[in-house]
A and B are shown apart, each in its own frame.
Chain A
Amino acid sequence: MKKIFTTIMICAAAMFAFAACGDPEADKLEKVAGEWHYTGVESGVEIDIYLGLYTDSTFDLYQKVGEGPHYLYKGKYNFDGQVLSGTYSDYTPWAHDYNVTKSNGSLTLTSVAAPDYSITFRKEAIPQSVRTHYMPVTKAEGETPAIL
């Protein structure tokens, strides 16, 4: 009986250990994944940006600068637990790699190379009106890339 109990415990521990391991990369992405929103005004121009970071390492960036619809940039990102980097689907790299700070429902991205530059998003779902009303600029992987 004791032997059976020991065997069960070993199996359970093994299963727990297996489950806990998961995918370490996905676990890292989980930390930044979500939908984020930034608004601001620069030089009198209103900026409105939604960023969707998804656990499959893809992102959608809906960007509105001034009038007109949001422009959609798609691509892939990576997060190593500290630094967030990404490439648009037209193979253009992000302007920066960013150190990430999360607090109170906000996500602050600070340029690794230029620490004076940062942008803070707050957690907010991308509205359906934005998801369905945008100008595509870069396409998803598998679609024809724009020649830039």
Chain B
Amino acid sequence: MRHYKIRFYVLASFLFLFPALLLVLQSLSKTWRFQRGEGIRFQLDSFQVLLSDPNLWSATGWSITIGLLVLLINLVVGITTGKALTSLSFRGKSFIEAVMLAPILVPVLAIAIGLHLFMIRIGLADTALGVVLIHLVPTVPYSIKIFQNAYQQLGRSMLDQPVILGSNPWHQLVTIELPLMKPAIRSVTFLTIVISLSQYAITSIVGGGTIITLPMVFFPFLDTANASIMAAFSVWFAMIPFFLYMIVEALLWLLPYSKKMRRTTT
């Protein structure tokens, strides 16, 4: 047991932690030329460029607001549909399941124009609500899948029992389903926020510049040969889902039984 733990930590640190730290280090130093015998030359200019961008803070704010709204809708759509797909068996279910997954199978470039037309027609182009709706396209299918799998693991009996005992659906959701599906909620939170945060093309098209999110400030810098600025942006970028995840994790503690379960497991 101990053995595999050590192996895990060594491997995980090397493969996952080290590259992230590398980016942090690059963001704090000038272009590396070790082979020429140059050492690490520290600098903070890259973060200065970052912080001097007048759009940075408002973009961060928009990204967080949109991310949280997208997450909320994802939880609603994911839980309802996940439950429906688990509790119902019907002819053509395979077809419905495939269609539910379709939005993430179709290349974004292909549907972007159609989505923009759609948004103009319902009058939501260039608005924050439009951006939130458009961010559902690459996120909701994941949430549906994750919750469907979670409900399947709960088993149908677990879902039928409270109904037989006369519980109302809302009560059943809060006291039984949500606490038991915490791993699924975590996955959905993480995935939804990360995906919403990194949407560039559809945000810029539908947000139309009225809504400036982080990638819109960040992506143009892909064209820079200045590695430090690139790295500084990446680090800033990664902090946001990290903190949002922490917040959601804290909220999960408020669900029934959380404290007790924690105490018994630790």
> Is B one of A's binding partners?
no
Q: Which residues of A contact B (CB under 8 A)?
A: none
